[in-house]
Amino acid sequence: MLKAAIFDMDGLLVDSEPFWQRAQVEVFSSLGVTISQQETLATMGLRIDHIVDLWFERQPWQGPNCAEVNTLIIKRVEALVQEHQPMLPGVREAIQACQELDLKVALASSSPMSLIHATLDALALTDAFSALFSAEHLRFGKPHPEVYLNAADALGVSPHECVAFEDSLNGLLAVKAARMKGIAVPEAHLSADLRWSIADKKLNSLLEVNKELILSL
């Protein structure tokens, strides 16, 4: 029986993936790195410091170090989220459905905690979650399950008593590696990928979340 629901943030609650793509292209290009928006899709769901390290290995730059570049990208995304406040459809309804089933509702994101707080504040969702978890300082980010396992431990539930909502394949891999139920909500242009088959449910948006769907898991 499910006891907790854990939500990813970027691309699931907030349409911030375009902002991450834009920030990466802007910052990396300013350093002389040749990168396209299409190339950023391959690293969706990964922790930003891992992405920065990856591009430094491919195309080393002069000037700011990786930690400084990491900060530049995060600050740019924070500014874009606060400016545009792009909450995705069905967020409040999905959270409410979980709360009505008396599930503990938490958030587990690859984003740093500063961006989590900035985003939830911009979307007026600060009070929607009983606990927040970031993979920022963990040894491994998604697709490793560490952030999800830590969330289950902190909530006092077993992983198999959790359902997690994800929009990225890397995030879904983390969910399933943690032995949780996984609901995938991919972007429409990525929805045909056969790898989504590992999800327990695949939805078009969070508007499709209801109590009956959760109870069917």
Half-sphere CA count of 211, side-chain side, radius 13 A? 7
| 15 catalytic residue (yes or no) | no
User: Looking at 8, 15, 49, 167, which residue is catalytic?
Assistant: 8
Cα 112 to Cα 176: distance, rounded to the nearest angstrom: 22
Unique residue bearing structure tokens 């898991």: 217
Buried b (16+ CB within 10 A) or exposed e, 170-204: bbbbbbbbbebbbbbbbeeeeeeeeebeebbbbbe
CB 185 within 8 A of CB 169: no
| 200 catalytic residue (yes or no) | no
Residues comprising the chain, all counted:
217
CB 129 within 8 A of CB 147: no
Select from 186, 208, 210, 188 the least CA-distant residue to 198.
186
Residues annotated catalytic, as ranges: 8, 10
